[in-house]
Amino acid sequence: KGFSGLPLLFERPADTLRWHLWHGKVMTAATILKVLQIDCDRLHAETRELREAAKRVKARCQDLYSYLANNFDALVDYGHRHRNGLAVSSSRAEGCVDDIGNTRMGKRRRMRWSPRGAQRVAVTRAAVLDRRLGVSKRAA
């Protein structure tokens, strides 16, 4: 009675869920999500706020479970990539593309690219950054 530790109740499962998702253990993460949903259903809170909080946690667990189920084949094992020295995010490439686009398409600039031309430059720059496209150094 008077239990106000709802955040504590879900803290450890949320931490293990994060670890399992980072390391590509999607099936284990999905199982944890289902257990969290069952715990939310079994939680008989006295106050309306706790019941609503449990309902929100359950809805978020269901959303994440649906995402995992729909994108199972496309999920990345970030732990494996990190251990092998591979890139974990594309933020560097995205930042460069934003800089290029803002320089050319900025409000103060009179020069504009067509959307098609901007897309081509962005794809080329991203390919150079992730080493899919090399830059040759030939004398002109």
pLDDT digits (tens, 9 = 90+) for 63-107: 999 988 888 888 878 888 888 888 777 676 677 767 766 766 665
Residue 51 sits in the same domain as residue 112? no
pLDDT, residue 1, reads: 44
In a domain, 136, yes or no: no
Residue 37 sits in the same domain as residue 98? no
In a domain, 33, yes or no: yes
In a domain, 139, yes or no: no
In a domain, 24, yes or no: yes
| Radius of gyration of the chain measured on its C-alpha atoms | 23
Residue 54 sits in the same domain as residue 96? no
| pLDDT of 4 above 60 | no
d(CA 81, CA 72): 17
In a domain, 74, yes or no: yes
Task: State the pTM of this model.
Answer: 0.55
Residues with Cβ < 8 Å from 134, sequence gap 6 or more? 128
Q: Which of 125, 131, 135 lies closest to 104, judged by CA?
A: 125
